Chain A
Amino acid sequence: MSRVVTLKIDDRDVSGRDDETVLEVARENGIDMPTLCQVDGLSSVGACRLCLVEVKGVPKLLPACTTYVTEGMEVWTSTERINRYRRQIVELLFSEGNHICAVCVSNGHCELQNLAIRLGIQHIDYPYRYPKATVDASHERFGFDGNRCVLCTRCVRVCDEIEGAHTWDVKGRGINSQVITDLDQPWGESPTCTSCGKCVNICPTGALFEKGKSVAEMTKRGEFLPYLTTMRGKKQR
């Protein structure tokens, strides 16, 4: 049984259940913060660190999407320090991949781009890595462009937790991490992929796209996820 706790977010008194995260309670109370790896309806992994918040008495910053609320907690979601880190994180994401917005299928509909705009990023202070990434276009309907992947693992989680196929996974460590299909086989040859398209629609950038889309034409329809989870929740009850 969950209990109701009271806490302070950005100096406001709020309450929530102790099985809710800081992010959930904040959003319930109209306090928003940038997120990238977190999606409602999937498990949270705290991978991108964009939702970092300051918690009184804790020296390090904590990701709001994986931190549960506790009684008497005091949280700040938008301090000078946090905002600086957020900008740096997004800049690092840009410098780490090959994000050429102008010729990207997701231009104008991209969560990474929107984050940059929201955080007022106009240029990237870090040197670009220009990684040598490949495009997997072997699937009949979809494509994967590693140049644009931010390793949020949303595709991995939606495929595993919602579709139940677990086609996607991550290989390598640290800077060498990459999402792969099955045992690093071409997507088109995947024996597990059901071609449901959930990964494509949940991917925040143009890394996963529908074939046949030209520049700026790829709009994602992420709405399916809350519908699915709500419907399933009802059925189980």
Chain B
Amino acid sequence: MAQQITIDPVTRLEGHGKITIQLNDAGEVQDAQFHVTQLRGFEKFCEGRPFHEMPSLMARICGICPVSHLIASAKACDALLAVRVPPAAVALRELLNLAQLAQSHALSFFYLSAPDLLLGMDADPAKRNIFGVYQTNPQMARDGIRLRQAGQQIIEILGGKRIHPGWVVPGGVSEPLTELKREQILAMLPEVVQITRNTLDWYKETFQRFEEEIRTFANFPTLFMSIVGENGRMNVYDGKLRFIDAEGKIVADNIDGNDYADYIAEAVQPSSYLKSPYYKPLGFPAGIYRVGPLARLNIVESLGTPLADAEMPAFRQLDRQSSFHFHYARLIEVLYAWERIEQLLNDPKILDEHVRARAAVNADEGVGVAEAPRGTLIHHYQIDKDGLITRANLIIATGHNNLAMNRGVLQVAQHFVKGARLDDGMLNRVEAVVRAYDPCLSCSTHAVGQMPLHVQLLAPDGSVVDELVR
């Protein structure tokens, strides 16, 4: 009898999602899907608003990575003004985005994924959380809290508040950096670099234990996409889009953000509010690609900071297709973020007082692209002659990963689901594979909510035969 298993909602994600596993008559997994069941409609309600409000408005899409939306949005607005953002403002925006990257990765790694990594996938769900981590390895829990806090503090020092800083504006930033703030941030760095290195050492010892998961965790060939800076170097603030294939060969390079629509198309599926972008030249669904830390590290030729670059040879030895390595990539990126912040702060130009370019509306369309913790963000706005938004299109990191996440869930389900029963170990892994992408469903559907867990097992006719609510 064909049955369907639904995991709804999935815990320890940002937002709300649901997983359905379809069984065939032989009781084998035939299909699996990750649904996003809310809709927030940011694209719709910003219509008619003056575009100068967009950065702050769009930052409200997410409370975890508002900064990245702020930045992608401000870049789209820079394009509407057709101005060149002063170099100090570019550096400050990059710095802010790096702080965001570090704090968000720390949240993902320590709070959301460390419970699985430290306590094991089969540990009691009641303990498999940050508190369980605290009981087993208090130092690790403290480290996680410290890293996240440091990222947040830097955002606060720069932007005036932690969650929705309003400092990034069309044309630049609203205030220059002071010497005092520069010193404050610099003073934080040695400690967090050390913590990050310790964590990397621990992780390198640990992850080998997850050999089976690495093999089966959304491990399949796809394209990867991210922006890269000059000379193929990592840059989370600005650069050109690049796609590589599963072997690491460049398939499309040097793509200007304005031309994204020539390369990326979005499919809409009835089962989910999350749109499924795909690489246009390959069509749907063959144009599946992944974004985020794993994609970035697979794509860039170097990171450009010494400690992080030193981690790369070992990372490159790994199976680059396994989404399990998102975790590893995240840690390397945190290290990169601290080092890059230091580089930026040590450049005297960062204190320059010219941080904002002003202009009236000079273009009726603008695209802003930046790397958010979870991957590439694309904000695309059109305005009328008065500067009011007529259309906004947002392609969000979790959206890019949608197809890959679905395929990942299918792969894990096929491997771990045995028979038409729901068992915790299987559920945990299905969940964990989704979590490896660190999907931010609130961002991607522009949705709010908590992520409890609900699993359904459906017969071929769609009736529920088993159900599990956590």
| A interface residues, Cβ below 8 angstroms from B | 102-103, 105, 134-135, 137-138, 140, 143, 145, 188, 211-217
Contact = CB atoms under 8 A, between A and B. Distances in A.
The size bracket of the interface on B is 10 to 19
Given A138-B386, A188-B386, A214-B55, A102 B164 contact: yes
Interface of B: 48-50, 52-53, 55-57, 60, 164, 166, 169-170, 174, 358, 360, 386-388
Nearest to A141: B360
B77 to A, nearest CB: 9
Contact of B169 (A102, A188, A214): A214
A137 B360 CA distance: 12
A140 B48 CA distance: 17
B388 A217 contact: no
B170 A214 contact: yes
Contact of A211 (B48, B57, B387): B387
Q: Which 6 A-B pairs have the closest CB atoms?
A: A215-B56, A137-B386, A214-B169, A103-B57, A215-B166, A214-B52
B71 to A, nearest CB: 14
Contacts of A212: 52, 358, 360
Given A211-B50, A211-B52, A135 B169 contact: no
A103 B60 CA distance: 9
10 contacts: A102-B60, A103-B56, A105-B53, A212-B52, A212-B358, A214-B53, A214-B169, A214-B174, A215-B53, A215-B56
Contacts of B56: 102-103, 214-216
Contacts of B55: 214-215
For B49, B52, B57, B388, the residue with the greatest tally of chain A CB atoms inside 10 Å of its CB is B52
A236 B55 CA distance: 49
Given A214-B174, A217-B169, 7 more contacts: A103-B57, A137-B50, A211-B360, A212-B52, A213-B52, A214-B166, A216-B56
B89 to A, nearest CB: 13
B388 A137 contact: yes
Contacts of A215: 53, 55-57, 166
Nearest to A136: B386
A135 B52 contact: no
A216 B166 contact: yes
A213 B57 CA distance: 13
A137 B387 contact: yes
A145 B388 CA distance: 11
A130 B386 CA distance: 24
Nearest to A210: B52
Nearest to B56: A215
Contacts of A211: 50, 52, 360, 387
Nearest to B74: A214
Contacts of B52: 105, 211-214
Contacts of B360: 140, 211-212
Contacts of B169: 214, 217
A159 B49 CA distance: 26
Contact of A143 (B50, B57, B170): B50
A143 B387 CA distance: 10
Contacts of A213: 52
A88 to B, nearest CB: 29
Given A214-B166, A214-B169, A214-B174, A103 B53 contact: yes
A219 B261 CA distance: 39
Nearest to A215: B56
A104 to B, nearest CB: 8
Contacts of A216: 56, 166
Nearest to B385: A138
Nearest to B160: A216
Contacts of B358: 212
Contacts of B48: 134-135
Contacts of A138: 386
A169 to B, nearest CB: 22
Nearest to A133: B48
B297 to A, nearest CB: 34
A188 to B, nearest CB: 7
Contacts of A214: 52-53, 55-56, 166, 169-170, 174
Contacts of B53: 103, 105, 214-215
A167 B447 CA distance: 43
A211 B50 CA distance: 8
A140 B53 CA distance: 17
A188 B361 CA distance: 15
B388 A135 contact: yes
Nearest to B359: A212
Contacts of B386: 137-138, 188
A213 B50 CA distance: 10
With a 10 A CB-CB cut-off, give which of A134, A135, A140, A212 has the most chain B CB atoms: A212
Most B C-beta atoms less than 10 A away, residue of A137, A188, A214, A215: A214
Nearest to B169: A214
Nearest to B77: A214
B170 to A, nearest CB: 7
Nearest to A206: B53
Contacts of B388: 135, 137
Contacts of A143: 50
Contacts of A217: 166, 169, 174
A103 B50 CA distance: 11
Nearest to A188: B386
Contacts of A105: 52-53
A101 to B, nearest CB: 11
With most chain B CB atoms within 10 A of its CB, the pick from A103, A135, A213 is A103
Nearest to A107: B166
A216 B55 CA distance: 12
A149 to B, nearest CB: 15
A213 B174 CA distance: 10
A217 B53 CA distance: 10
B112 to A, nearest CB: 27
A74 B170 CA distance: 55
Nearest to A139: B386
A145 B60 CA distance: 20
B165 to A, nearest CB: 10
A143 to B, nearest CB: 6
A137 B51 CA distance: 11
